[in-house]
Structure 1
Amino acid sequence: MRLFHARGYDAVGVAELGAALGIKPPSLYAAFGSKAGLFKQALERYFTSDANIFGRALAEGGGVDAVIGRMFRLAARLYPARDGVAGCLVLDGARNSADDEARGLTAAARAASRVAMRDFIATEHPARADDLVDFVVIALGGMSAAARDGAGEASLAAFAAKADRTFRREAAEGR
């Protein structure tokens, strides 16, 4: 998971993955079927970890505005580079990948996240849920890309505060 997150799917070789797991490439293929099979497992683990900022924000409770604001703040804390890893694996792990399967895996994960956020937003803002989730997804994508480009926690936190205010204002317009 860490190798894919730090460098992206295409930049990590099977031999390097095997070495990180302490196994030879034939054993990697036997265990996961392919590099993409291992990537799928890494994405699933990532999605069920503390890196799932929507899941974490939601678990703390509150209404839509509170959860979305908390999610932006978590992204600002988690996306900046730490130990050579920045951004979001789901958003950036296969960006520009030449591998159709890897791109498909991240696209499916992004779609599942989008649906979960949209359905949650719809609990309070049904008429605006699609528009509001678009805002959230684009903001998070921008934050992840900015972090991968070197943006630090302070600038991401400032953006998160603005995104939170904008989300609340936009959500209120539909009430």
Structure 2
Amino acid sequence: MTATEMSGSRGRRRSFDVDEAVETAMRLFHARGYDAVGVAELGAELGIKPPSFYAAFGSKAGLFERALHRYAAGEANIFARAQAEGGGVAEVIGRTLLLAARLYPRRNGVAGCLVLDGARNSADPEAAALAEAMRKAGAAAIRDFIATREPERAAALADFVMITMRGMSAAARDGADEAALTAFAEMAGRAFRRELAAEG
């Protein structure tokens, strides 16, 4: 989608591709975190001046929200991808963790999960709330799926999965590679399977 924004009081117009802008912002936020990326830098990277930036996105947090949704709509939605392949609860959760092990290692200067880590410890409450809302939505989807088999323990088991994924994301940002994360994911998957089989 191409947007044409006004960038001057005399009607000078500047055109830019909004989808491309969101993709660029997503990469910057993912690589460095929300707080480390300023509006001036975003404008320079996107090739637009602040008036056009604010006209298009409303605020830096507004752009971050769009970047989060774009990220979650792609391959980063590992639970949806795992679920789409079918199988029972233990199989799908194990597959989810293995997909995280493939997705999170550093590639092209980017590591971890944007949703889990992009606004970690952010000084901007709006950005932190946006990321938290998406994390909660993801946790709710996992909880509801687990509840099809273990309704009484679904919340605790979903917490296990989410905490595991957050730890894997943080480890990837600290340099853990795919082999190390895969080994951990396999262990976590076995632990989940044992807990799922245990009587509540």
The structure where strand makes up a greater share of residues is 2
Q: Quick one: which of 48, 73, 81 aligns to 1:56?
A: 81
- Residues 113-152 of structure 1 correspond to what in structure 2 (within 5 A)? 113-152=138-177
Q: By how many angstroms is 1:145 displaced?
A: 0.3
Q: Quick one: which of 125, 129, 134 aligns to 1:109?
A: 134
Q: By how many angstroms is 1:16 displaced?
A: 1.7
Q: Quick one: which of 51, 55, 69 aligns to 1:44?
A: 69
Correspondence for 2:117: 92
Runs of 5+ in structure 1 lacking a partner? none
Correspondence for 1:27: 52
CA contact (8 A) 1:10 1:97 kept: yes
Q: By how many angstroms is 1:58 displaced?
A: 1.1
CA RMSD of aligned residues (A): 1.0
Correspondence for 2:42: 17
Deviations 1:24-80 (A, max 9, x none): 221111011000000000011111111111111111111111110001000001100
Deviations 1:82-101 (A, max 9, x none): 00100000000000110000
CA contact (8 A) 1:36 1:102 kept: yes
- TM-score normalized by the length of structure 2: 0.85
CA contact (8 A) 1:64 1:124 kept: yes
- TM-score normalized by the length of structure 1: 0.97
Asked which structure has the greater RCO (Cα within 8 Å, sep 6+), the reply is 1
Q: By how many angstroms is 1:20 displaced?
A: 2.5
Correspondence for 2:186: 161
CA contact (8 A) 1:80 1:150 kept: yes
May I ask how many residue pairs the two structures share in their alignment?
175
* Higher Rg: 2
CA contact (8 A) 1:125 1:174 kept: no
Correspondence for 2:3: none
Q: By how many angstroms is 1:165 displaced?
A: 0.1
Deviations 1:114-171 (A, max 9, x none): 1010000101111210110011011000000000000011110000000000000000
The structure where helix makes up a greater share of residues is 1
Report % sequence identity. 71
Q: What amino acid does structure 1 have at the position aligned with 2:185?
A: A
Deviations 1:3-33 (A, max 9, x none): 0000000000112212332322211110110
Q: By how many angstroms is 1:111 displaced?
A: 0.6
> Which whole-Å CA distance do the structure 1 matches of 2:53 and 2:150 have between them?
46
> Which whole-Å CA distance do the structure 1 matches of 2:47 and 2:160 have between them?
42
> Which whole-Å CA distance do the structure 2 matches of 1:77 and 1:59 have between them?
17
